[in-house]
Structure formats: C-alpha cells, structure tokens
C-alpha cells in the first residue's frame, strides 16, 4: 500500500480532489433542486404536487448508472458534447436530488401543521410561511438524514469511473492495471474514500443523538 | 426514428434483454435472501453487545457501509483470487452485494430492535422468559414489523445497484442493453428507454409495497421509540 502511495500518490490525490469537487458541486445543486421539489410537493396546488411526485419517483427508481450513462452516451450523440465528469455530475445531481427531496419533504411534514396555519392566519403568504417559518424548523430536523445523503453522494460519485470522470475510483482502476497490484491499490482507494465518509458518518450519528 | 424504435425492439433484442433481466433478477433475489440472513444475525450481535465482538463488528460494518459498492465489487472480483478462490462475475457480484447489503441491513435491524421500548424486554424478563426467548418471541417480531419499510427501500437500492456489476462484466440487464446499442448506435435511445422502464417498474412496484407497509404500520400504531425510516436507504 505504501508503495502505491509513493509511486502513484499524485494520481490518487488528483482523483481524490475530483471526487470531492464533483461531490460538492452535486451536493449544492441537488440541495437546491431537491428542496425545490420538496416545497412543490407541500404546496396546496394539486398539479404542482403531481409534477414533484413524478420527478421524485422517476429518479429514485432508476439506477444511477442508467441516468449517468444516458448523459454520457446519448446527450453527446444528439445534443451537446459534454465530458464524462460533467455527465457524471449531472447524473449524480438528478439522482441525489430525488432522495434529498424525499428527506426534506419528510422534514417539512414533521413540522406541526399548526405552524403553517398560524403563519397563514397572521397574514403571511404560503411562500413567506414556507421561507420564514417552516423551512428553518424543518432543516434542523433533516440535518442528520441530509448528511447521510451526502455520504451516499460521495460513495455514488464512484460511478464517474464508468464514464471516464477521472475521479478517485477511475484513477484506482488505472493504477491497478498499471501496477498489477490490484488489491493494494483498491485498499488505498478505500482508505481515501473512508477519509471523507467515515468522519462524516460519525458526526451525523453524534448529531442524531444530540437531537433526540 | 420510428424505424429505429421498431427495429430496436425486435424479437431477438427483446429476448436478449430478457436474458439479462433474468440474471439481474437472480442476482437480486439471491443477494436479498443472503443479506437478510447475515444482516439479521449481525444486527442482533450488534444489539446484544458481546464484549469485544460487537465493537469490532460495529467498526467493520461502519467501514463497509462507508465504502462505494463498486469498490467492494472490485475487491471480490480481483481480490478473492489472491486467496485462492476465483469467482465468476455472477458470484462475485452476489458476494459483493451480500457483504455491502448485510452491513446496511445490520444497521436497520439494530435500529429496529432498539426502537422497541425497554419495557417490553423488562416485562418479558420479569414474566420468566430468558433473554433469548424474549428476543425471539417478543422483541424481534415487533421489530421486524417496524423495519419492513426501511428493509424494502434497501432492497430497492439493491436491485438498482446490481447494474453496477456491469463493471465486472456480469451479463445483466444493463450489460446486455450496452451490448445491443454498442453494435448499432441507432438503438441507443430505445435501449435506454427499455432500461429505464424495466428498472422503474420493478423498483416502483417495490416502493409501492413499502408505502403500503408503512401506512399499515401507522394504522396499527406500532410501538416506535426512534424513527428508523431514514437508516441506510439510498
């Protein structure tokens, strides 16, 4: 393992950086899109709810790999030439946003309905009540599950290896076939993934404990 | 475009896709059965707190849960031959999925058992049942009821995750679709539609099942101390 780190440290670190970069980009967009659909699903307007539901169910029930490959194979063929990194990140955003929407929706629903009624009765519009009353309360409640979604996102970012996204997993494959030491290479890759995910997962567990 | 659509779904192609789907179903079902068994055992060991074993196990489970599944597939496919066992892709995929999902399910089981109020255990013990009898007849049956929604969502991700096994050349649905559109690029879009539809139908049916259980659970007013619906699912 140490040998691999010495000989291929550069490539591994570059992959590590790409994985973090793509995870953070995907997290930001997935949070925005996911929260958006979660709010749409909580509106009183029926057709907005149906659209949100359809989006969430669609991307939750199709494998991430299928979504990612679609953007990697089909979009460059007919629409726009995008790199593997971009295709992978778009796939991650769509897939994760559906899960984040589900999480945030659960959070919104966990806020007592009296809060919304009270806010509306005090003259706030639906959006104002959402923005100033419901969401701040919901977000505190959904922070641990959101953190878990982020951990999943980091792990899922390994699909970039399928689409030449130059992430950690991809670099791992390249190094494994170059050094002919697949086991120790994948162990190095595993350690690097754990550096991101393990502390996060312990922190989320701590947060969960403190909340309950 | 229309021609492509008709040709893409020719009898031969559909049969080829179905062969792949059959492999996906086999891998999913075997992995679900195996990981349920192992997950259950591991979860109970975690709950019971055998001195060193549970702590070590907890750490190993945490490590597995926090690794990408693709990496675990590489370990089983490229790593196991190092210790003298060379699995074909079919079994390498099943072993990897079982390892990963057992760890996930173990956490669900542990949380499920811990969600049963302590009074149940205390009551049963003071009525003369041994610890294991209580676990077997009082705690686990109630816990399973609470766990079912989380378990079903875990199985949904398992079905979706089988597609990742194309990277170790498992001839599953995803792989067969790739072969078809690899031979004729005009079939790309039809194949992605077929993939999306087939995975969606299976996973959505499972998620409806999960919703049904969840509703029934709420109606029955199940005893839950801690919300476990968020554990693990992806």
The model's pLDDT over A19-44, given as tens digits with 9 standing for 90+, comes to 999 999 999 999 999 999 999 998 88
Question: Are the beta carbons of A201 and B166 separated by less than 8 Å?
Answer: no
Supply A200's token pair: 């996060």
Q: How many CB atoms lie within 10 A of CB A109?
A: 14
Closest C-alpha to B149, from B122, B182, B175, B115: B115
Nearest to B71 among A58, A144, A186 (CB): A186
Angstrom distance (rounded) from CA A40 to CA A53: 9
- The pLDDT of residue A5: 79
Domains and CATH numbers, chain A: 1-211 (1.10.3720.10)
Q: A197 to chain B nearest CA, in Å?
A: 6
Range of the domain at B79: 2-233
Is the pLDDT confidence value at A52 over 80?
A: yes
pLDDT band of residue A89 (cuts 50, 70, 90) is: very high
Number of domains, chain B: 1
CA A80-A85-A89 angle, to 5 degrees, is: 90
pLDDT band of residue A16 (cuts 50, 70, 90) is: very high
- The predicted complex's ipTM stands at 0.87
- The pLDDT of residue B226: 44
Question: Are the beta carbons of A198 and B200 separated by less than 8 Å?
Answer: no
Can you say whether the dihedral through the CA atoms of B48, B52, B53, B58 is positive or negative? positive
- The pLDDT of residue B232: 45
- The pLDDT of residue B221: 57
Is the pLDDT confidence value at A6 over 50?
A: yes
Nearest to A183 among B63, B79, B161 (CB): B79
Helix axes B11-48, B89-114, angle to 10 degrees: 40
Q: B38 to chain A nearest CA, in Å?
A: 22
The model's pLDDT over A94-106, given as tens digits with 9 standing for 90+, comes to 999 999 998 999 8
Q: Is B209 on the interface with A (CB under 8 A)?
A: no
Nearest to A198 among B62, B164, B199 (CB): B62
pLDDT band of residue A64 (cuts 50, 70, 90) is: very high
Closest C-alpha to A104, from A14, A206, A166, A31: A31
Below-50 pLDDT ranges, chain B: 223-232
Mean pLDDT confidence for A123-144: 86
- The pLDDT of residue A116: 86
Q: Is A9 on the interface with B (CB under 8 A)?
A: no
Query: DSSP string of B33-93?
Result: HHHHHHHHHHHHHHHHT-HHHHHHHHHHHHHHHTS-HHHHHHIIIIIGGGGT----HHHHH
- Which of B17, B20, B67 best probes binding to A when mutated, by most A CB atoms within 10 angstroms? B67
Please, which residues have CB within 8 angstroms of residue B94's CB and are 6 or more apart in sequence? B27, B30, B31, B34
Closest C-alpha to A35, from A126, A139, A129: A139
User: Whole-number mean pLDDT of chain A?
Assistant: 89
CATH number at residue B33: 1.10.3720.10
Is the pLDDT confidence value at A132 over 80?
A: yes
């Amino acid at each position: 393992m140490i040998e691999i780190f010495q000989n291929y440290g550069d490539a591994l670190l570059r992959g590590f950086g790409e994985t973090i970069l793509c995870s953070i980009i995907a997290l930001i967009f997935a949070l925005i899109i996911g929260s958006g659909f979660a709010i749409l699903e909580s509106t009183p307007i029926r057709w907005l709810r149906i659209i949100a539901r359809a989006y969430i169910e669609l991307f939750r029930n199709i494998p991430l790999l299928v979504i990612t490959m679609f953007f990697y194979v089909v979009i460059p063929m007919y629409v726009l030439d995008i790199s593997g990194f971009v295709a992978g990140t778009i796939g991650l955003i769509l897939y994760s946003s559906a899960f984040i929407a589900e999480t945030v929706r659960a959070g919104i629903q966990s806020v007592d309905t009296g809060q919304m009624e009270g806010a509306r009765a005090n003259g706030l519009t639906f959006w104002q009540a959402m923005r100033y009353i419901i969401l701040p309360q919901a977000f505190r409640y959904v922070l641990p599950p959101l953190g878990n979604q982020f951990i999943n996102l980091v792990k899922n970012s390994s699909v970039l290896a399928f689409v030449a996204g130059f992430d950690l997993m991809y670099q791992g494959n390249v190094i494994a076939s170059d050094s002919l030491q697949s086991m120790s290479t994948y162990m190095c890759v595993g350690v690097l993934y754990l550096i991101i995910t393990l502390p996060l997962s312990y922190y989320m567990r701590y947060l969960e404990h403190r909340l309950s | 475009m229309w021609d492509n659509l008709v040709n893409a779904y020719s009898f031969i192609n559909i049969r080829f896709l179905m062969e792949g789907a059959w492999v996906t179903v086999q891998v999913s079902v075997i992995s679900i059965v195996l990981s349920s068994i192992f997950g259950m055992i591991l979860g109970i060991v975690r709950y019971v707190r055998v001195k060193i074993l549970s702590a070590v196990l907890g750490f190993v489970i945490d490590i597995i849960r926090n690794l990408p599944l693709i990496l675990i597939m590489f370990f089983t496919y490229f790593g196991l031959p190092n210790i003298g066992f060379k699995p074909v892709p079919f079994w390498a995929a099943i072993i990897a999925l079982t390892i990963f999902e057992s760890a996930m399910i173990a956490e669900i089981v542990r949380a499920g058992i811990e969600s049963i109020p302590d009074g149940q255990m205390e009551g049963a013990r003071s009525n003369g049942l041994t610890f294991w009898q209580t676990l077997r007849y009082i705690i686990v049956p109630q816990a399973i009821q609470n766990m079912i929604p989380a378990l079903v969502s875990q199985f949904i991700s398992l079905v979706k995750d089988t597609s990742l096994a194309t990277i170790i050349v498992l001839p599953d649905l995803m792989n067969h679709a790739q072969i078809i559109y690899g031979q004729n690029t005009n079939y790309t879009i039809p194949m992605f539609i077929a993939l999306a539809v087939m995975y969606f139908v299976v996973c959505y049916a499972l998620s409806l099942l999960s919703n049904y259980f969840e509703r029934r659970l709420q109606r029955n007013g199940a005893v839950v101390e801690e919300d476990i619906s968020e554990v693990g699912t992806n």
